[in-house]
Amino acid sequence: MRKTLMRALVVAAVMIAGAANAAVASESKQINGAGATFPYPIYSKWAMAYYKATGVRVNYQSIGSGGGIKQIKAGTVDFGASDAPLTKQELDAAGLVQFPMIIGGVVPVVNLPGVKSGMLKLTPQTLAGIFLGRIKRWDDPALQELNPELTLPGRPITVVHRSDGSGTTWVFTNYLSKVSSNWQRQVGNAKAVSWPTGIGGKGNEGVASYVARLKGGIGYVEFAYALQNQMNYVLLRNRAGNFTRPSIETFQAAAAGADWVHAPGFYLVLTNQPGRQSWPISGASFILMHKIQDDRTAGRTALEFFAWCFEHGNEMAVDLHYVPLPRSVVDQVQNVWQKRFVGSKHQSLWTRAESAE
């Protein structure tokens, strides 16, 4: 009788454990994120590859960095994404942890009939002058002087900017604020600014679409969008005085001196970096998650996805002209995962052993 009872209890325990494991597995079949459009092409590619490898869906909504920050603060997504890093004070106030995921570049793109990609040269001053509305036509003497070999059209310039709160805008206006005192004084650096001129498009997709349709248009998008839409990008004079073209090599040059070790909360801006080959409007894209994960399974699943991307996603990133994080930075990020992320009962969410797998 006692043996029969013991067997029944063991069977019941196994069934309960199996049911619990099945429940955990079902809960971890999808994680939800929202935010920056800058990294959307690579996050989308990673998500598809991860689903094929694991059966776990990553639902990422490309709504802009401002929207991503709002949603993660509200707790309506498992992770947010922003190209505008939050300061350590902002992170602590919201109970968030931030870490970089990928590095890329923002590029000015133009629609000028007869002017091919990489032919038009701009300086920081002329770029700022165009977006301030002070340089109004493509045959302006300042542009002609920079481009004597081109026949620039006598056509009005139509500026296209983001209409939503955007990390791409934050990176772009951060650069303009560094290189133009007029821009810094009149407009400044933010995810959403009061634009002196132009029309607004929603997301990198919206800006790319407008510029593609408007002859005489100029906008700014993440480089992958320029490539995917076969848009004409400009050459931009960098801090060293060289006209450089956007590429993974020039993004890598901008990121080469990044000191992540001494960046509190991983707050680091890569615009206007030194270096002969540096692309001047480079930036990292960041993930935001709550330090205390009430849904421990979803939190772990998110970290497992990001760890997989660090381990298996570099080639896919390079294919889309993003710069993967150096291994030393990945190690720093995963050390932060171990130290900062906990479940609702303060149990650790990540360990060094898992980071090394």
pLDDT in tens, 188-235: 999 999 999 999 999 999 999 999 999 999 999 999 889 988 999 999
Could you give the count of Cα atoms lying within 13 Å of 141 in the half-sphere of its Cβ?
A: 0
The CATH number of domain 29-105+283-356, selected from 1.25.40.10, 3.30.413.10, 3.40.190.10, 3.90.1150.10: 3.40.190.10
CA distance 21 to 198: 55
- CB within 8 A of 133, min separation 6: which ones? 159, 196, 197, 198
CA distance 245 to 268: 23
Average pLDDT value for residue range 94-113: 97
Average pLDDT value for residue range 87-95: 97
Arithmetic mean of pLDDT over the chain = 90
pLDDT tens for 325-335 read 999 999 999 99
How high is the pLDDT of residue 344? 80
Name the band, by pLDDT with cuts 50, 70 and 90, for residue 17.
very low
- % of the chain at pLDDT higher than 90: 85
Spell 326-335 as b/e; 16+ CB within 10 A means b.
eeebbebbbe
CATH 3.40.190.10 in the chain: give the residue spans.
Answer: 29-105+283-356, 106-257+272-281
How high is the pLDDT of residue 308? 97
CA distance 332 to 323: 17
Assign domain 106-257+272-281 to its CATH superfamily.
Periplasmic binding protein-like II (3.40.190.10)
Tokens of 140: 């302006």
Provide the residue type at 184 as one letter: Q
Residue among 197, 251, 243, 262 nearest 226 (CA):
251
Name the band, by pLDDT with cuts 50, 70 and 90, for residue 28.
low
pLDDT at 273 over 50: yes
Query: What dihedral do alpha carbons 110, 116, 119, 124 form, nearest 10°?
Result: 10
CA 245: distance to chain centroid? 20
